[in-house]
Chains A and B, each alone.
Chain A
């Protein structure tokens, strides 16, 4: 039976970005909805195979290093390689980064270059403001191509930061292909697992606002430094 209360339906539709109340043509979706689905799917695929522009990296003051997954096909097949750094990347980090910083910022495309393109430019300056207000010092930020979350441990063993923030593109969905996550860890090193980390996810203009996420991450880092821990043990 069709849904008759048009106002109520509009309310429900406004409450969620999910595809509800889209109607049908016979037993199939309408042409408009089908095209929208295919468009969103294509955008998701584009995000996975896209790359972050060198212009943006320059603007954000990030230099680029490779992860252990040197090309995109290998990256998708071998998640483990995305958590490692090859020797030439390690050398770059040792040469260019301040060792043992209070806060190490790392950005990675992960599964959505579009996420970084759309959100990093708003989040990073708000995060740096927040750190400055709290009197915290950031190390040398950089970008890892084809990284996975676990690369935080690898970087921790090389640069020994007190805290690390990894901004990484999320696996794209059909609602948005531009969603970014921020992973945080206190004294990252080999053996750290998800329960040792914190995450702020769904960062994009239609979800967690990037600027406010940046400001909040700054406070979370201050709390991690004060309590000397992160993850499930941190009192929030």
Chain B
């Protein structure tokens, strides 16, 4: 291939209140010298089209109107001058409340024909938080700041916080806090309260807020203040989580204790975008979007004034998540890989990481044992029920020295495990640059009877999920690593 190529990437964010899309071009460049193994990297990510904000089309309370959604996207594609086939990679993410996310597969299926094939279908709270933080610019900002930059993306249904340090996310936290959890008319009558906060409202002394009742602006202001306090206290890691029933998300991520302090807090999402505006003077103004978003934004801005840490709206507040999804999800694997093309694309593969047995060091027996245990764990956890195939990918962690006998042993262990568990394929992601050699080895050991994909130089963790796209040209395979799925 040429030393430079451009891919077109689409991002679609379907949120509780708004739907938007962006199109961007990703520049793929060969960054290795002619006497090295080829290495392609994404060196530029340029957004060239941003849609306007559409109200998410709904049937009833929370059912996405697929026909209307397709029409919205079709008009945006045509405005951007794109056909679905022009899209090489991209992500649709459905954010917000649980009921919403459960429609992810249906939405993806319905969009495949009219919008293109996408790598990411559903995002978990973790991934949403990270994507928003990338799209808002908080991740990049953390490279230039001593301490952590926290991006809190507050949309209609949820608030997702991602903590960045030195350019990478160290933990995430999710809250059932959002502008559209309570919906009201301009006269203050409450039309809907989301089930995710019903109980909390009662317990926290907001009994008066009920569907059908007319709310006072003072009471709503108190609620917004209470939520912004909870957010700002909640992101401090010293708090007792049990006192914060509105916090949810990946429990492992909560255990992370950083050594550094929080330096800056950025607010993105629809609520972030409203923070720059004046506080609403009356109920009619406060309810101008039919929800309490403006009140929440105003409460946060006021809380930020006395808060000891710099708190501000993110520069790309409203489109942070969609920019994160459309521009920052695609990664490339190492460029010397092995892939049986007919297996690709692969979606939603859970990752199982090999654990090396320390007492055995990096000896061949330790390697064999570690690989076999990972396959056993994969089979046990993701065995597949009935006709559903057992699909997972194994991560082979870094080896300080990687010799041919080691690769041979990894291949033998993988082939033996795949045969033993009657797997339809072996998908292996190596941290060392060894994927092509390993794939060749597995192919020869199994006589080509075990379809196999071996990729390398991808940073991924145990429990993450990965989408592997079809190879573009001959050189590289786009993929997306998704952090832990949504925990309701």
Residues of A that sit less than 8 Å from B by CB = 121-123, 125-126, 129-130, 132-133, 181, 198-202, 205, 208-216, 218-219, 236
Contacts A122-B404, A126-B407, A129-B444: A208 and B437 contacting too (C-beta < 8 A)? no
Closest to B38 in A: A236
Q: Which residues of B contact A132 (CB under 8 A)?
A: 440, 444
Contact B433 A125 (CB under 8 A): no
Contact A215 B404 (CB under 8 A): no
Residues of B that sit less than 8 Å from A by CB = 1, 34-38, 336, 401-404, 407-408, 432-437, 439-441, 443-444
Contact A216 B436 (CB under 8 A): yes
Contact B401 A126 (CB under 8 A): no
**Partner among A125, A201, A202, A218 whose Cβ is within 8 Å of the Cβ of B404:** A125
How many Å from the CB of B232 to the closest CB on chain A?
29
**Partner among A129, A205, A208, A215 whose Cβ is within 8 Å of the Cβ of B401:** A205
Q: Which residues of B contact A125 (CB under 8 A)?
A: 404, 408
Contacts A205-B401, A211-B402, A236-B1: A129 and B441 contacting too (C-beta < 8 A)? yes
Contact B404 A209 (CB under 8 A): no
Q: Which residues of B contact A219 (CB under 8 A)?
A: 336, 436
Give complex CA distance A126, B434 in Å: 10
**Partner among B36, B434, B437 whose Cβ is within 8 Å of the Cβ of A201:** B36
Contacts A132-B444, A208-B37: A126 and B1 contacting too (C-beta < 8 A)? no
Give complex CA distance A20, B477 in Å: 36
Closest to A213 in B: B37
Q: Which residues of B contact A133 (CB under 8 A)?
A: 440, 443-444
Q: Which residues of B contact A130 (CB under 8 A)?
A: 436-437, 440
Q: Which residues of A contact B402 (CB under 8 A)?
A: 205, 209, 211
- Among B402, B403, B433, B440, which residue has the most Cβ atoms of chain A within 10 A? B440
Please, could you name 28 A-B residue pairs with CB atoms under 8 Å apart, sorted by A?
A: A121-B403, A123-B404, A125-B404, A125-B408, A126-B404, A126-B407, A126-B437, A129-B440, A129-B441, A130-B437, A133-B440, A133-B443, A200-B37, A202-B35, A209-B402, A209-B434, A210-B404, A211-B403, A211-B437, A212-B436, A214-B404, A214-B437, A215-B336, A215-B440, A216-B38, A216-B436, A219-B436, A236-B38
Give complex CA distance A181, B434 in Å: 18
Give complex CA distance A21, B358 in Å: 33
How many Å from the CB of A92 to the closest CB on chain B?
28
How many Å from the CB of A141 to the closest CB on chain B?
16
Give complex CA distance A211, B440 in Å: 11
Closest to A217 in B: B37
* Interface contact tally, CB-CB below 8 A: 74
**Partner among B35, B336, B408, B441 whose Cβ is within 8 Å of the Cβ of A199:** B35
Give complex CA distance A73, B407 in Å: 39
How many Å from the CB of B41 to the closest CB on chain A?
16
Contact B440 A218 (CB under 8 A): yes
**Partner among B34, B35, B36, B407 whose Cβ is within 8 Å of the Cβ of A211:** B407
Give complex CA distance A38, B14 in Å: 63
Name 11 extra pairs, CB < 8 A, besides A121-B404, A126-B440.
A125-B404, A129-B441, A129-B444, A132-B440, A181-B35, A209-B402, A211-B434, A212-B336, A212-B433, A215-B440, A218-B440
**Partner among B36, B407, B443 whose Cβ is within 8 Å of the Cβ of A208:** B36
Give complex CA distance A121, B407 in Å: 13
Closest to A134 in B: B440
Contact A211 B37 (CB under 8 A): no
- Among A198, A208, A211, which residue has the most Cβ atoms of chain B within 10 A? A211
Contact B443 A212 (CB under 8 A): no
Q: Which residues of B contact A216 (CB under 8 A)?
A: 37-38, 336, 436
How many Å from the CB of B423 to the closest CB on chain A?
20
Contact A212 B437 (CB under 8 A): yes
Contact B433 A209 (CB under 8 A): yes
Closest to A132 in B: B444
Q: Which residues of A contact B407 (CB under 8 A)?
A: 126, 211
- Among A122, A202, A219, which residue has the most Cβ atoms of chain B within 10 A? A122
Give complex CA distance A122, B38 in Å: 20
How many Å from the CB of A95 to the closest CB on chain B?
30
Closest to A182 in B: B35
- Among B37, B401, B408, B434, which residue has the most Cβ atoms of chain A within 10 A? B37
How many Å from the CB of B429 to the closest CB on chain A?
15
How many Å from the CB of A144 to the closest CB on chain B?
21
Closest to A121 in B: B404
Give complex CA distance A16, B37 in Å: 18
Closest to A123 in B: B404
- Among A122, A129, A216, A218, which residue has the most Cβ atoms of chain B within 10 A? A129
How many Å from the CB of B144 to the closest CB on chain A?
12
Q: Which residues of A contact B336 (CB under 8 A)?
A: 212, 215-216, 219
Closest to B146 in A: A7
Q: Which residues of A contact B440 (CB under 8 A)?
A: 126, 129-130, 132-133, 215, 218
